Amino acid sequence: MRRATLLPQPTARLRFDWWENIDQTLARTLWSNDKVTKFIGGPFNEAQIVARLSEQCKNRSEHGVQYWPIFRNECNSFVGCCGLRPRTDNPRTFNMGFHLVQEHWGQRLATEAGTSVIAHAFEPLGADAIFMGHRPG
């Protein structure tokens, strides 16, 4: 599998970035929110958020992926993150997910970001498969 240093392609309403390039308080806004993190073990405290950010940076360094922060094109508003995490059972497969700030729920932004991330996983990353699940409320 090729390691990409590129971001997923922007969409009609969204653009992607690397966590290393943005204000880290945005991660705190996202992952300390009890509604956003309800099904992923949150809300997270400061130490847990720092650990999550560290994991994202490690995934970028080692695999060229992360749960990329996403922003609205027209106003640069922080939407959340969407991306890939390498699976341990096969280096050519990824888990995909997204976490959106509550004010952006219900606008089909997860679908829009996810479509770009899926395309990115298969080309340029050359993934064999992508896995995704959810934890219903």
Q: Can you give the pLDDT of all 137 residues of the chain as single tens digits?
A: 445 579 999 999 999 999 999 899 999 999 999 999 998 999 999 999 999 999 999 999 999 999 999 999 999 999 999 999 999 888 789 999 999 999 999 999 999 999 999 999 999 999 999 999 775 54
Q: In whole angstroms, what separates CA 129 from the centre of its chain?
A: 17
Residues in a beta bridge with 130 = 94
Give me the pLDDT at residue 1, please: 46
**Pairing, β 14-16 against β 67-72:** antiparallel
3-state secondary structure of 94: strand
Q: How many Cα neighbours within 13 Å face the side chain of 42? A: 23
Q: Could you give the CA distance from residue 136 to residue 13 in angstroms, rounded to a whole number?
A: 27
